[in-house]
Amino acid sequence: MSIISELNKPHEWRLAPLGRLTVRMQIRERPDLEPLSVFLDEGVVPRSYRDDNHNRLGDDLSKYLVVAPGDIVFNKLRTWQGGLGVSSHTGIVSPAYFVCRPLEDVNPRFLHYLLRSSVYLQELTRISKWMPPSQFDISWDELRRLPILLPYIKLQHDIADYLDTTTTRIDSLISKKRRRLELIDERLQAQRDDWFQSLVSVHGLVSIRRWSHAIEQGWSPVCDSEPAGLGESGVIKTSAVSSGRFVAANNKRLPPETECDTRWLLHDGDLLVTRGSGSRSMVGRACVAYVGTQSLTLSDLVYRVRLTQADPEFVAAALLSSPARAQIESSIRTDVGLTLKIRRDDLAAVRVPAVPFNRHMSEVARLTDRLSPQRAAKLLIERQIELLTERKQALISALVSGEVSVPGTLP
């Protein structure tokens, strides 16, 4: 059943299918126009504005769809995550996208906010088709039937104007806090690098191969999009490792009909290293697993390094330093599908400080003491960003559903 139908709709608002409120645009043959992309955090912007789109442009841009200012663009594989938005630009997008032009009695900016509200993202996920391993594909037939909650046109304008002002202010505050996080990360990196170099100057270097007896990668079964719950098994995502600290919640639930392969069960103290990613900076990131009683397994894009005479926390800290990162990034190769990966042999060849095993824990403790104040500040700011993001989403959802009125206007 549609979540939208369960909303307490204000009596003067109406529900109409998206296909009756917009026209699907399929204009092509304009390869001269600027390519656009749809980003989860920013909506529709020129590809040239961002350096984190790793998808290659098609060979024939004449097949791309023309987008005009005010058009709503949907990345059909990412719509369920908010991969949609109103365009302020003229350009072209992949033919795999949907381009919709709102009719005169529909404000494009209101539609943008409505479709990115929490209740609509839930509904878009519900009507999308699961595409393993990690995407949902939405069809035009499903999208055009999506019921749109719509007030009269002036109220649409009022809500969109208010949200433009308020969310811009929240986004500005979030951006400032993210800049502070970048500065903290720079300080943390400088301290790791100083620690690494000081140890090398005394002990020299040794390859990871000398301290390990196996480097193994896990499996890639078809999983649900939700994380595993109590009594369920899950397969970790690369994001469980790539931050440099283990995030157990970043996993995908194994379906009940799929038997858990116990070979890949994670244990406390496992050294994990990301094997592949779409981003070079995320390949070869390391952390130590702490799973407790959870049933989590190793994924195909993560290595587990079986150590002999080395402490996993020591090796993980060394791998996060700039000298080790330089070795890793020089070994990264492009695999089929443009995924960037590091091979087992290249990871085994990475050199770290040759500190005797009996001093690993004390050196980790020394580094931890140096990093602790900055880490605490980082956690505080991350929580503040999380709260601001939740506040922004709650405000959008409340206004576009009619739950609250725009301040200064009649309900």
Per-residue pLDDT tens digits for 24-54: 999 999 999 999 988 887 789 888 877 666 5
What is the C-alpha to C-alpha distance for residues 97 and 65, in angstroms, rounded to an integer?
Answer: 8
DSSP for 352-380 reads EE---GGGHHHHHHHHHHHHHHHHHHHHH
Of all helices (H) and strands (E), which one includes residue 73?
Answer: strand 72-75
Q: 3-state class of 176 per DSSP? A: helix
Higher pLDDT, 357 or 51: 357
What is the C-alpha to C-alpha distance for residues 146 and 149, in angstroms, rounded to an integer?
Answer: 10
Cβ proximity of 310 and 212 under 8 Å: yes
What is the C-alpha to C-alpha distance for residues 245 and 285, in angstroms, rounded to an integer?
Answer: 9
What tokens appear for 350 in the block? 């990475």
Would you state the torsion angle of the CA atoms of residues 343, 296, 247, 39, taken in this order, to the nearest 10 degrees? 70
Structure confidence by residue, pLDDT tens digits, 314-329: 999 999 999 999 999 9
Structure confidence by residue, pLDDT tens digits, 182-213: 999 999 999 999 999 999 999 999 999 999 99
Chain center to CA of 39: 11
Task: Give the confidence band of 338 by pLDDT, cuts at 50, 70, 90.
Answer: low
Nearest to 240 by CA among 214, 210, 270, 212: 270
State residue 218's pLDDT score: 94
* Beta pairing class for 43-46 and 36-39: antiparallel
Cβ proximity of 331 and 283 under 8 Å: no
Strand partners, 91: 67
Task: Give the confidence band of 352 by pLDDT, cuts at 50, 70, 90.
Answer: very high
Terminal Cα distance for the chain, rounded: 29
Q: Enter the pTM of the model.
A: 0.80
